[in-house]
Amino acid sequence: MLWRQWAIFVVVTLAVTACAAGTLSAQTAPTSAAPALAAPLDNPLGIPDLSKIAPPVQTREGMSSAIQIMLLLTVLTLAPAILVLMTSFTRIIIVLSLLRQALATQTLPPNQVLIGLSLLMTFMIMSPVLQEINQDAFQPYMNGKMGQMAALEKAAVPVRRFMIRQIENAGNQADVRMFLEYSGHGNVEKFSDVPTLTLIPAFVTSELKVAFLMGFKIYLPFLIIDMVVSSILISMGMLMLPPVLISLPFKLLLFVLVDGWHLVIGGLLLSFS
């Protein structure tokens, strides 16, 4: 009986498809003889015509204003990347994420908490740099005492100084030389002569190295706890019991007793001094 039901289903499907095809051909046949020029578009929603609202640029001043608006929108789009790649945010978020993995607390603290704490710490660490940018570049530009290019050059000075200091403190000058050789500036000897586009990836690489090194130091005591708990469970024959389930309370207890958050946050702040 099952094959009969399938046969009926196939026949009905073919019949419906044939009827639908015939209906569509009957509807589309008259439209093939339609004139080349279509009728005016009916616009019941009242969508405005942008060509009439925003006419094309006719003067050089209008073109300059349009380019400035485009550049401003581009900078606003790249602002998160600038925040991540040229500040202390990268090191902080990586260390906090490795700490959460070492504790094996899954999603606790949540990502929103870690990112919010990292942003607040970034603003605190970068506040001297931001104040210098505001005083030497932004305020003179707003008061009309400095042009755009001059303001950008002045604003880049404290940011470059911060990145250079972190690279020197970490001893990662080899990363700068690697990017200089790749970009064809291998004869540069002073940090002041290093192009900014070369300095940024070297700074990011240096921050990744420092963050992973700090994460390893944080990970080590919790790894020892996992190994001890696993050895005890194996010796007791409890092979089916997950070691993480037993070691998690001991990790939390150790972290609270040593005031872990104070040590981790304090170590991060001191690493940028």
User: Using CA of residue 150, residue 89, residue 132, residue 273, what is the dihedral sign?
Assistant: negative
Digit-coded pLDDT (tens) for 48-82 = 665 555 555 555 555 566 676 777 777 777 777 77
Residue that has been written with the tokens 């700068």 in this structure: 176
Residue-by-residue DSSP string for 51-99:
HHHSPPP-SHHHHHHHHHHHHHHHHHHHHHHHHHHSSTHHHHHHHHHHH
Digit-coded pLDDT (tens) for 181-194 = 887 776 777 777 77
Q: Is the pTM of this model over 0.75?
A: no
- Would you state the structure tokens that stand for residue 30, as one six-digit string? 């008259």
- pLDDT band, residue 202 (cuts 50/70/90): confident
Judged on CB neighbours under 10 Å (0-12, 13-18, 19+), 148 is exposed
Q: From residue 67, give the alpha-carbon distance in Å to each of 60, 63, 103.
A: 11, 6, 50
- Would you state the structure tokens that stand for residue 246, as one six-digit string? 């037993």
Say whether pLDDT at 84 is over 70.
Answer: yes
Region of 46 on the Ramachandran plot (φ > 0 left; ψ -120 to 50 alpha; else beta)? left
For the chain, the structural domain boundaries read: 79-271
